[in-house]
Amino acid sequence: MIDNKTELSVNTEVFEKMAEIAAKEIDGVVSLSKKQVDLKGIIKNKSAFKGVKVESINGSIEISVYLCVKQGVNVKEVSEKVQANVKDKIQTMTGNAVTKVNVCVADIEIQEEAEA
């Protein structure tokens, strides 16, 4: 009997892009913020300044997302929605298990009031 099983291999940069798109779908997220400088990332793959970090550990995926949110939003609610959406989208599209989605609110977009 021949086993015709195939494996799917997805580059971490693809996971990063998927997570970025999923995070931006949530109302209240302005953009992804630049994470802290990752010297290992600079040397390894030159992606030290992206707003998403993906680590694959024993077949499971851990994701960190660095957000810039709108002023006045419920940060806890927005963060929970981002966690759920990122996890759901990546697991649905790839079939890989996402074990952790860390959300770091790195910035708030302050809206200046219009001068009279």
Domain ranges of the chain: 12-109
pLDDT band at 95 (very low <50, low <70, confident <90, very high): confident
CATH number of 12-109: 3.30.70.1350
- Residues 97-115 have a mean pLDDT of 85
Sign of CA dihedral 81, 23, 67, 108: negative
Q: How many CB atoms lie within 10 A of CB 3?
A: 5
Q: How many CB atoms lie within 10 A of CB 47?
A: 16
The answer, yes or no, to whether residue 48 has pLDDT greater than 90, is no
Q: Find, among 18, 97, 10, 76, the residue nearest to 50 by Cα.
A: 18
pLDDT band at 12 (very low <50, low <70, confident <90, very high): confident
The answer, yes or no, to whether residue 101 has pLDDT greater than 70, is yes
What's the pLDDT score for residue 1?
Answer: 59
Q: Are 48 and 86 in contact (CB under 8 A)?
A: no
The answer, yes or no, to whether residue 14 has pLDDT greater than 50, is yes
Q: What are phi and psi of 64, to 5 degrees?
A: -120, 130
- Residues 55-67 have a mean pLDDT of 89
d(CA 87, CA 68) in angstroms, rounded, equals: 19
The pTM of this model reads 0.77
What's the pLDDT score for residue 116?
Answer: 45
